[in-house]
A = this chain, B = another copy of it.
C-alpha cells in the first residue's frame, strides 16, 4: 500500500543507508523523522502550526495538512520508525511539473550550533542563494511528449546564476521541449501558470503579505514548492497551479520579529516571476541541458542575456 513517491525533486530521498519518504493511495505523504534535532523540530512545528489560531485560513492552505506522526516500516527496510503523516502536495496529479525553491539568502540562524552556522555560511556563499535570495533545490518538468521528463541534477540547479535561474523559470512554463538545447523556452504557459488571480504569482503575493506581518515563526531553510499539471495545460485546461511551503526542520520562534530573511528572498523570487510575465522575450538565452560534468558551463555573470547556459 505504501510506495516511494514518483515526483520528489528535493529533500532527503531514500537509499544510501537512509530511509526516504513514502506515499499511500489516499493522498498522504509519510516523511521519516530525522534522528537528530531536526525531526523533533519539524514535528513540533507541525503540531504548533496546526493548532495555532493566529494563522488565517487563507494562509493555512499553503502548508501541507498534518495528520500527526505514525510508526511505520521505513522505506529502507531498517524497521519501524516514526514518520510525519502529511498531505501529499502532488497527490492526484498524473504529470505534475514541480519546482522546489529554497527561500532566503541565509539558511542558518542564530540559535543553531556554531558548526552548523559555519557549514551553512560556506554553502550559502557557493550556491545561488546569497546572490538571489533563493535557490532552486530541484525540479522535474514534463515536456509536450508523453514520456518526456526533465529532471536535472540538483547540484547543477542549486548553483545557477541569475540568468540560469531565469531560463529554468521560463522552461517551467514553456510548451517546447525542456531538453532540446536548441529551443528557447517559449513561455507559452506563463500566463496560465504564473499569472491570473489563482496563479503562482498571486499565491506568492498572498504569502508575502502574511510574511510581512507575521512574527510567530521564522522558516529558516524552508522551501516553496510550485506545482502545476502540465498535461491539463497542454490540452487547454486549467494549470491547477499551486504553491506549498515545505521543510520545517529549522523553524525557530519569531519572538515578535518578522522573518526578514524569508521576506527578502520571497520578494526576489516574485520579481523574477513578474519579469517573465511582463517581458517573457527579454532574454534569448541559449540553453543546453545534458547532465554531464563537462557540459557544466553555468553562467557566473548575471547581467548578460545572450549567453549559453548548460545544465
Most B CB atoms within 10 A — which of A110, A131, A270?
A131
Residue in B106, B262, B264, B271 whose beta carbon sits within 8 Å of that of A215 in the complex: B271
Interface residues of A in 263-283 (CB under 8 A from B): 263-265, 267-268, 270-271
Interface residues of A in 40-81 (CB under 8 A from B): none
The chain B residue with its CB closest to the CB of A118 is B121
Given contacts A110-B125, A121-B121, A130-B110, contact A267 B258 (CB under 8 A): yes
Q: How far is the CA of A270 from the CA of B260 in the complex (A)?
A: 11
The chain B residue with its CB closest to the CB of A305 is B256
Given contacts A110-B130, A130-B110, contact A260 B255 (CB under 8 A): no
Residue in B131, B213, B255, B267 whose beta carbon sits within 8 Å of that of A263 in the complex: B267
Asked if A26 lies at the interface with its beta carbon under 8 angstroms from chain B, I say no
Q: How far is the CA of A262 from the CA of B262 in the complex (A)?
A: 12
The chain B residue with its CB closest to the CB of A121 is B121
Asked if A162 lies at the interface with its beta carbon under 8 angstroms from chain B, I say yes
Asked if A133 lies at the interface with its beta carbon under 8 angstroms from chain B, I say yes
A105 / chain B contacts, CB cutoff of 8 Å = 106, 260-261
Interface residues of A in 77-115 (CB under 8 A from B): 105-106, 110
Q: B121, A257: Cβ atoms under 8 Å?
A: no
In the assembled complex, the CB of A245 is this many whole angstroms from the nearest CB of chain B, namely 17
In the assembled complex, the CB of A132 is this many whole angstroms from the nearest CB of chain B, namely 6
Asked if A212 lies at the interface with its beta carbon under 8 angstroms from chain B, I say yes
A255 / chain B contacts, CB cutoff of 8 Å = 162, 301-303
In the assembled complex, the CB of A299 is this many whole angstroms from the nearest CB of chain B, namely 11
The chain B residue with its CB closest to the CB of A271 is B258
Most B CB atoms within 10 A — which of A105, A260, A265, A270?
A260
Q: How far is the CA of A125 from the CA of B106 in the complex (A)?
A: 13
Q: How far is the CA of A153 from the CA of B221 in the complex (A)?
A: 36
Q: A267, B260: Cβ atoms under 8 Å?
A: yes
A256 / chain B contacts, CB cutoff of 8 Å = 162, 302-303
In the assembled complex, the CB of A205 is this many whole angstroms from the nearest CB of chain B, namely 11
Most B CB atoms within 10 A — which of A130, A253, A268?
A268
Q: A265, B260: Cβ atoms under 8 Å?
A: yes
Q: A212, B271: Cβ atoms under 8 Å?
A: yes
Q: A263, B261: Cβ atoms under 8 Å?
A: no
Q: B263, A258: Cβ atoms under 8 Å?
A: no
User: Which 7 pairs show the lowest CB-CB distances between chains A and B?
Assistant: A264-B264, A133-B260, A260-B264, A255-B303, A260-B268, A255-B302, A263-B264
Known A105-B106, A110-B131, A255-B302; further 19 A-B contacts with Cβ < 8 A: A105-B260, A105-B261, A131-B257, A132-B260, A133-B261, A162-B256, A212-B267, A212-B271, A255-B303, A256-B302, A257-B271, A260-B267, A262-B264, A263-B264, A263-B267, A263-B268, A264-B264, A264-B265, A264-B267
